[in-house]
Structures are given as structure tokens and as C-alpha cells.
């Protein structure tokens, strides 16, 4: 089967690889580029663990055709920290015990980041709506919601 | 043989390719086709990408709305002229799905999915279908949805409908067991234009109450020419199940769907919360 080249920016760096015609972005990231942040969950778009940002908007990488990402900017959980300094959302997740098994966390963080980029001061209802496409089977969601609200609050204090 | 990817730059080119090869599938938002690839149901054929900007356009500033088939739910939500459709678009998936899922794709989503198509059915939409390199023809959405079950083909280029004169005339409700996002037990869309406080040309549509979105003609007859009062709502509830063929799936049994349909229809018509 003929492979096709694909090139895009991944967490700020230009990356290129070869993909099979039907490969999705998740497979390309994990197998082709050793980017293991996004997880494989359902492959149906139901669980959200593979959530990444493409040109700043949340997408499910398992349902995104890899070659369609040519020239676009893909961001994963691995790009959130700035060197040793975690992103405020990551700190808030730790402070509020928002991760238990951790499998949903990469997708939750990207969904939360997309929400806060668009809406820096969300209400609790808006947070719930923002992570509505992401399933967590451990926490009961409350610590995650609390963490996102806390990160939004901290962000506001920093800006002030 | 395996999958190959082709790119069409115009809708005419895409329609031509789709018409000449039965094993070609259009990749619109990806939420249906990529799932089939991931689960091994579509591994042999052609995946067609369409880059024509017109495929993604929304024209909603006038009395007639045109939604490009490639327009996403997020694009609907970003359009102030489509505020009456925001509850429908918001009911579909989470934020990531809404960035991807398209109007055209929703017309092909198997029950119990396809909530946006339910709304379009209540709005008497016309589906613009292009076959081959000719011009697109308008197909009534009810006819389109029935033909879908028979495997009819062609490129859906857009959907068109008249904007409700009064946004309050259009109502939508998705009933699901998981909050805030769950798959539909059923969905209901109603468009009740009225003149001198009497309903004229009522349109009521259900999702997940038949193999494809379906009109509730008994309800429409019960409401026609009447004010939307308690008596009319009672008559509508009594006719709620006419023409329905709900199925049993992982979300709900056919019995449960029959039990709750009149209740939720009554609440929607009365303007009540859940």
C-alpha cells in the first residue's frame, strides 16, 4: 500500500511522517511520531480521550484523517507544560485530585484548555458543557470540574 | 485493494466521482466514515475529500436559510442568525464533535443519532442533491430520508429552508438518560407557525421513533387550526404515537420510547422544562 507524506506543526515543532491512506491522526501521532499523550479509547468519538487541538479548536484525533492535517497546528497534552513548569490546568488537576487512573486526563486537559481559551471565566455549567464529550469512569467528575474552575480563577488572579 | 484518498476541489467534481464509483465515500466531518474505518467496515474503496469553500458556507441573513452540507455544528452555533437552531446544534456531542460533525453528515447518521435532521424535517427543508456533473436538484427532506434507507446516492451540497418568522414557533427537545450529553432516547422538533393565535401548517418530527427521522402526522392534524391550549396539547398527546416504529437498542426499549413520547411531546408543546 502506497504511503503518503504528511507534515504539520506538533506542539510548536514541524513534524513529518508517512501515513497509510485511511490512517487517523491518533495512529499517526502514537505510531508515527511517538507522541503518546492522546490515548486510544473507543475509536468511535464517544469517549474523548484522544482529544487534541487543531488550529486551536478541540478535535477527536481518532476520527480525524491524518492527511487532512497537512499544514495545520496540532497540540497535545505533551505541549501544555513550559519545560519544568506545568500549565495552570495541570497544577489545578494535581491540587484537586482530578486524576485517578489518569487515562482520561490528556483528553480532559485539552478539552479544558479549549474551553478556557475561548471562555477564560466559565461558569460551572459552562465547564460541564465544555467537558461533556469526555468520559471519566473514576472521579465522578466533581474534582475535574473543581480543578478547571480553580485554574480559571488562578488565571484571573495572574492577569490581575 | 485497499483504501485510497482522493481530493475534489469542486462539488461538481465530487458528485462526478461519487456517481462513477459506488465504493467511494465522501469524508465530510469524519464522525461517521472514520468510525467505519476504525472498526473495519470500510477498508476497501476510495475516501473522497472535498475542499470547495461553497460546501462549508452558511447563508442565513435573509428569510431563506442555506446551510452548506459541510458546515459544522460549531459554525451553526457561531451564527447569530441561526439562534433558533442553537439548542439543536448544542445537543449534538461535546465541543470536539461539534467542531467536526457536519449538516450533511447528520442527514446520514443512523438512528438514534441524527438529531439535526429531525429539526430540518420539522422545518420542511429541501435537500440539494447533485448527481454526476449536472446541477443540484431539490429533494424534500422526508423523501430524502426515506430514500436514504434504500441506499440512494449522490452528493448532498446543502439544505435550504424558510427561517421561522417567529423564533418561538420552533422548539426542540432531546431526551437522553445521560446528562448533559447522551444518545437520544428520542428527539422532538416542532414548528408551529400561527396566525391569529391559531396554528397553521404544523410540523412535528421525531428522532429515534422510527428507523429514520419521521413526521408525526397525527400530532400535526391534532394541532392544525387550533390555539395551542390544554385541549390541543391533550389531543396531540393522544395522537403522539401514530406512524411511529421505535426500535429497541442499547439506549431504550421500544416500549419505553412509546411510554415517554407523549409525555415529552406534551411538555415541549406546553413550554415546560423536563
Q: Which of A22, A27, A127 is the best substitution to test chain B (most B C-beta atoms within 10 A)?
A: A22
Instruction: Give the pLDDT confidence score for residue B152 in this predicted structure.
Output: 63
Q: What confidence tens digit (pLDDT) does each residue in B244-270 have?
A: 999 999 999 999 999 999 999 999 999
Euclidean distance between CA atoms B135 and B131, whole angstroms: 8
pLDDT higher than 50, residue A24:
yes
Q: Grid coordinates 446516492 are at which residue?
A: B153
Euclidean distance between CA atoms B202 and B146, whole angstroms: 21
Which residues of A lie closer than 8 Å to B, measured between beta carbons?
Answer: 1, 4, 20-22, 24, 43-45, 48, 51, 57-60, 62-65, 67-68, 111, 114-115, 128-134
> Is-contact B213 B118, C-beta < 8 A?
yes
Span(s) in chain A for CATH 1.10.150.120: 88-159
Q: What confidence tens digit (pLDDT) does each residue in B25-38 have?
A: 999 999 999 999 99
Task: Report the mean per-residue pLDDT for chain B.
Answer: 94
- Cβ separation of B47 and A62 shorter than 8 Å? no
- What is the enclosing helix (H) or strand (E) of B77? helix B73-77
Nearest CA in chain A to B94: A133
- Cβ separation of B35 and A45 shorter than 8 Å? yes
Write out the three cell numbers for A104. Answer: 482520561
pLDDT higher than 90, residue B140:
yes
The pTM for the full model equals 0.94
Q: Which of B29, B45, B72, B95 is the best substitution to test chain A (most A C-beta atoms within 10 A)?
A: B95
| B47-83: burial string, b at 16+ Cβ within 10 Å, e else | bbbbebeebbebebeeeebbbbbbbbbbbbbebeebe
What's the whole-number mean pLDDT along residues A126-133?
96
Cα–chain center distance at B9: 26
Nearest CA in chain B to A27: B38
E runs forming strands in B148-253: 155-162, 170-176, 184-191, 194-195, 198-199, 203-207, 214-215
* Backbone phi, psi, residue A87, to 5°: -65, 145
Q: What confidence tens digit (pLDDT) does each residue in B169-226 have?
A: 999 999 999 887 889 999 999 999 988 889 999 999 999 999 999 999 999 999 999 9
- Cβ separation of A22 and B31 shorter than 8 Å? no
Nearest CA in chain A to B4: A21
Instruction: Give the pLDDT confidence score for residue B246 in this predicted structure.
Output: 96
Q: Grid coordinates 488572579 are at which residue?
A: A157
* Architecture in CATH for domain A4-79: Roll (3.10)
Which CATH code is given to the segment(s) A88-159?
Answer: 1.10.150.120
Cβ neighbours for B134, distance < 8 A, ≥ 6 positions apart: none
Q: What confidence tens digit (pLDDT) does each residue in B231-248 have?
A: 999 999 999 999 999 999
pLDDT higher than 50, residue A160:
no
Euclidean distance between CA atoms B19 and B23, whole angstroms: 10
CA-based nearest distance A9→chain B, Å: 20
pLDDT higher than 80, residue B273:
no
Quick one: pLDDT band at residue A159, thresholds 50, 70, 90? very low
- Cβ separation of A133 and B93 shorter than 8 Å? yes
What's the whole-number mean pLDDT along residues A104-133?
97
Domains and their CATH numbers in chain B:
3-50 (3.30.43), 53-162 (3.30.465.10), 169-270 (3.30.390.50)
All residues of chain A having their beta carbon less than 8 Å from the beta carbon of residue B96 are 45, 48, 51, 58-60, 111, 114, 133
CA A142 to each of CA A99, A119, A156: distance values in angstroms, whole numbers, following the listed order: 11, 20, 21
Write the residue in A20, A43, A57 that is nearest to B99 by C-beta.
A57
- Cβ separation of B3 and A131 shorter than 8 Å? no
Euclidean distance between CA atoms B267 and B263, whole angstroms: 6
Quick one: pLDDT band at residue A158, thresholds 50, 70, 90? very low
Quick one: pLDDT band at residue B148, thresholds 50, 70, 90? confident
Q: Is the ipTM of this complex over 0.90?
A: yes
Instruction: Give the pLDDT confidence score for residue B132 in this predicted structure.
Output: 78
Residue A61 preceded by cis peptide, ω within 30? no
DSSP helix/strand/coil, A20:
coil
Cβ neighbours for B92, distance < 8 A, ≥ 6 positions apart: B73, B98, B101, B106, B115, B116
Euclidean distance between CA atoms A127 and A150, whole angstroms: 11
Q: Exposed (0-12), middle (13-18) or buried (19+): which is B44, by Cβ within 10 Å?
A: exposed
Instruction: Give the pLDDT confidence score for residue B1 in this predicted structure.
Output: 58
Euclidean distance between CA atoms A151 and A93, whole angstroms: 8
- Cβ separation of B96 and A44 shorter than 8 Å? no
Q: What confidence tens digit (pLDDT) does each residue in B35-70 have?
A: 999 999 999 999 999 999 999 999 999 999 999 999
Euclidean distance between CA atoms B54 and B125, whole angstroms: 19
Q: Grid coordinates 390544554 are at which residue?
A: B230
pLDDT higher than 80, residue A155:
no
Span(s) in chain A for CATH 3.10.20.30: 4-79
CA-based nearest distance B37→chain A, Å: 7
Q: How many CB atoms lie within 10 A of CB B245?
A: 12
CA A160 to each of CA A146, A153, A156, B168: distance values in angstroms, whole numbers, following the listed order: 21, 11, 6, 41
CA-based nearest distance A128→chain B, Å: 8
> Is-contact A11 A18, C-beta < 8 A?
no
Least confident of A109-118, B131-140, B153-162: B131-140
Amino acid at each position: 500500500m502506497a504511503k503518503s507524506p504528511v507534515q504539520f506543526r506538533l506542539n510548536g515543532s514541524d513534524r513529518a511522517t508517512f501515513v497509510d491512506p485511511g490512517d487517523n491522526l491518533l495512529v499517526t501521532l502514537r505510531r508515527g511520531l511517538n507522541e503518546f499523550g492522546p490515548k486510544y479509547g473507543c475509536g468511535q468519538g464517544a469517549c474523548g480521550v484522544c482529544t487534541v487541538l487543531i488550529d486551536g479548536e478541540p478535535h477527536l484525533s481518532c476520527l480525524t484523517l491524518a492527511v487532512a492535517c497537512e499544514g495545520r497546528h496540532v497540540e497535545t497534552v505533551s505541549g501544555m507544560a513550559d519545560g519544568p513548569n506545568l500549565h495552570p490546568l495541570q497544577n489545578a488537576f494535581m491540587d484537586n485530585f482530578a486524576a485517578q487512573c489518569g487515562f482520561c486526563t490528556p483528553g480532559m486537559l485539552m478539552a479544558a484548555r479549549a474551553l478556557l481559551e475561548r471562555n477564560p471565566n466559565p461558569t460551572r455549567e459552562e465547564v460541564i458543557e465544555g467537558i461533556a464529550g469526555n468520559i471519566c469512569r473514576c472521579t465522578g467528575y466533581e474534582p475535574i470540574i473543581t480543578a478547571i474552575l480553580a485554574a480559571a480563577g488562578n488565571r484571573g488572579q495572574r492577569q490581575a | 485493494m485497499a483504501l485510497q484518498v482522493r481530493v475534489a476541489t469542486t462539488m461538481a467534481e465530487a458528485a462526478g466521482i461519487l456517481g462513477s464509483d459506488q465504493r467511494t465515500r465522501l469524508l465530510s466531518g469524519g464522525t461517521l466514515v472514520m468510525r467505519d474505518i476504525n472498526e473495519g467496515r470500510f477498508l476497501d474503496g476510495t475516501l473522497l475529500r472535498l475542499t470547495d469553500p461553497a460546501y462549508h458556507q452558511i447563508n442565513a441573513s435573509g428569510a431563506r436559510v442555506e446551510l452548506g452540507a459541510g458546515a459544522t455544528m460549531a459554525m451553526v452555533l457561531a451564527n447569530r442568525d441561526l439562534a433558533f437552531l442553537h439548542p439543536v446544534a448544542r445537543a449534538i456531542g461535546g465541543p470536539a464533535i461539534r467542531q467536526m460533525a457536519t449538516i450533511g453528515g447528520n442527514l446520514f447518521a443512523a438512528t438514534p443519532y441524527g438529531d439535526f435532521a429531525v429539526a430540518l424535517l420539522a422545518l420542511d427543508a429541501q435537500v440539494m442533491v447533485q448527481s454526476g456533473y449536472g446541477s443540484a436538484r431539490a429533494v424534500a427532506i422526508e423523501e430524502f430520508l426515506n430514500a436514504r434507507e434504500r441506499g440512494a446516492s449522490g452528493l448532498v451540497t446543502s439544505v435550504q429552508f424558510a427561517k421561522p418568522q417567529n423564533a418561538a414557533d420552533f422548539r426542540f427537545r432531546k431526551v437522553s438518560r445521560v446528562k448533559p450529553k447522551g444518545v437520544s432516547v428520542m428527539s422532538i422538533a416542532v414548528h408551529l407557525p400561527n396566525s391569529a393565535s391559531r396554528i397553521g401548517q404544523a410540523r412535528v418530527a421525531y428522532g429515534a421513533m422510527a428507523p429514520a427521522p419521521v413526521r408525526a402526522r397525527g400530532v400535526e392534524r391534532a394541532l392544525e387550526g387550533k390555539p395551542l391550549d390544554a385541549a390541543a396539547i391533550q389531543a396531540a398527546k393522544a395522537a403522539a404515537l401514530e406512524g411511529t416504529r421505535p426500535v429497541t437498542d442499547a439506549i431504550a426499549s421500544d416500549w419505553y420510547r412509546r411510554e415517554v413520547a407523549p409525555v415529552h411531546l406534551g411538555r415541549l408543546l406546553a413550554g415546560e422544562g423536563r
